[in-house]
Chain A
Amino acid sequence: MSFMENLLMALSSLKAHKMRSILTMLGIIIGVGAVIIVVAIGQGGEAMLKTQITGPGNTVELLYQPSDEEIRANPNIFLQAPFKQEDIRALEQIPEIKSIVASSTQMSSVRFQQETADVSSTGINQAYVKLNEMKVEKGRSFSTSDFLGGRRVGLVSHVIQEELFKGKNPVGEVITVANQPIEIIGVLEKPTGLLSFSSMEVYLPFQTWRTIYGSSDFTQVTLQADTSDQLESAGKKAARLLNNMHNTEDSYQVLNMEEIAAGIGQITRIMTLIIGSIAGISLFVGGIGVMNIMLVSVTERTREIGIRMALGATRGQVLTQFLIESMTLTLIGGILGIFLGWGTASIVSFFAGWPSLISWQVVLGGVVFSMVIGVVFGLLPANKASKLDPIESLRYE
């Protein structure tokens, strides 16, 4: 008796009890669906967090973490920007470094006509624009001559247009930043993504910023390299160089992206494990439901089993029939569950702005897993069916 034959037989007997079959499948549908959702969103989230942390451009941020001694010696140490102009010039000599992104930020009062607001004012170098993909929705971005000439121009965040300009187009208007006039040349696009928040920000060419605040130091320096290997050695060299120049032991450090990414991977893996085991439990419960219904079905069909045996079915053939029947039940449930999970994950990621990854491995895993559940939980009922006594089964009312 072929597998196809058994499959058709199973389908027709499941069709004979449509409602019961669907209700029995529900546990499997939900279980497999949950697994698909968890895996899809978990993998999507991990991928997204990783790119957000390491960034697309092979960059590493330099950190300044003074030791306790240094803090004791100079309590105001945090008020000073840790990176000097000569630091940057020295870093430029490191061959692995492709570009150095440097910026300095201070909170300032910004005024337009009668309106004032506290705004974070950041002076940036030209590399900053490229790395942070600063896109303007109105006006234009900075040009090379803006940087070289230290022009009194600035870019503002979208929130400034809303709050300070009440939604009017601010391009061409003049605001004062720390009492110095600045012409707005562009409005930045609203940031997208889960971890981005819109705040009141104004960006100035560093030369401009320097004349306003009278400081040529940087609060933030990020290094960029061509490859992650080069980045690692560049980061190490940079930290050593800066510690030498400032005569510090280990105050200048590089943020280890790999470690953070691995940490995030760990977190999402644990999350996946927890929710996955909940889904596993629901699949287990679904499997028990299948077993339960199959046991009922075997009892109900005792006479059918007796008839089949009288007509020459071996115990093995009866066992196979019921195994394939429960497997068909869970397989259909599993396939429906995959569609449910797929759909739900797509909806969730649509609203959360979070990608969901459905790989063929996950789909294949769902199909195989639901079949395995059918076989495992079908074993007991099928075994019961195959052990029936044909004579007594024929007499069964």
Chain B
Amino acid sequence: MIELESITKTYLLGKENVNVLNNISLKIEQGEFVAIMGPSGSGKSTLMNMIGCLDKPTSGNYTLSGENVSHYSENELARVRNQSIGFVFQQFHLLPRLSALKNVELPMIYAGVSKVERQLRAEEALNKVGLSDRMDHLPNALSGGQKQRVAIARAIVNKPKIILADEPTGALDSKTSTAIMEQFRELNGEEGVTVIVVTHESEVAAYANRTIFVRDGMIQLPSASNRGASE
């Protein structure tokens, strides 16, 4: 479902080319729960952005659901992000002036969903993450865990095939982290959504059925990629 072939991302720093992602090849099947680990600055976020179609590779091919998206136009990539990907960030990234409900409605606005249906589906998504009693709250009035639940509701509201979470528990205490990870496990188990989580914590990585280690922009061996394929 997700297939990266020799993906390279190069930034020009001064006169030097820096390979942030170096010849990465990777396959993730529909319904997998994958953790990506690695030291800070190793390229995890860049890899996530690549998978999430926020970034374009310098070279290599990216095939998503059988479509080579490497050469998609920006508008096509925006549509892919809107329809197929749900992002969850460490900093939550909720719009501060919008209520929880309105935040969850946002992706549907760009999908052209009618107002009435938007509200229904946003309520449904907030229900699923257990926030039916906080719909009209502004993000400031919510705890960190609640904010992240709103973000998860927003990520799933367009029924994407993939959820990408970049250190989703990085700003949360361990008890809240567990609850958030349970949420991901539920989505992965019940709905078959592919979940990819970047994390530093092995407790978080333990929720995944496969862990990919990244170092210096490369997938590190011995990696678990063979293990995932053999299972």
Contacts and interface: CB of A to CB of B under 8 A. Distances in A.
A303 interface: yes
A43 to B, nearest CB: 44
B81 A311 contact: yes
Interface in B48-94: 49, 52, 54-55, 74-75, 78-79, 81-83, 87, 89, 93-94
B106 A311 contact: yes
Given A13-B97, A391-B55, A310 B87 contact: yes
Nearest to B76: A314
Contacts of A308: 106, 110
Main DSSP-derived SS at the B contact region = helix
Interface string A1-25: 1000100000011001000000000
Contacts, number: 59
A316 interface: yes
Nearest to A5: B109
A390 B110 contact: no
A311 B75 contact: no
Interface in A285-328: 303-304, 306-317
A304 B93 CA distance: 8
Contacts of A391: 49, 54-55
A312 B78 contact: yes
Interface in B142-167: 154, 158
B178 to A, nearest CB: 26
Contacts of A310: 52, 54, 81, 87, 93
Interface string B84-115: 00010100011101000000001101111001
Given A16-B97, A303-B93, A394-B93, A313 B110 contact: yes
Contact of A390 (B54, B115, B154, B158): B54
B79 A1 contact: no
A148 B18 CA distance: 113
B192 to A, nearest CB: 22
A311 B112 contact: no
A12 B97 CA distance: 9
Nearest to B115: A5
Given A304-B95, A307-B95, A312 B81 contact: yes
Contacts of B82: 311-312
Nearest to B78: A314
Contact of A312 (B79, B97, B115): B79
A308 to B, nearest CB: 7
B95 A312 contact: no
B97 A311 contact: no
A394 B106 CA distance: 16
Nearest to A313: B110
A142 B31 CA distance: 107
Contacts of B75: 314-316
Nearest to A6: B109
A306 B49 CA distance: 12
Interface string B29-57: 00000000000000000000100101100
A1 B89 CA distance: 25
Nearest to B89: A394
A316 B79 CA distance: 12
Given A308-B110, A311-B110, A312-B81, 16 more contacts: A5-B109, A303-B93, A306-B93, A307-B94, A311-B106, A311-B154, A312-B78, A312-B107, A312-B110, A313-B110, A314-B74, A314-B110, A315-B78, A391-B49, A391-B55, A394-B93
Interface of B: 49, 52, 54-55, 74-75, 78-79, 81-83, 87, 89, 93-95, 97, 106-107, 109-112, 115, 154, 158
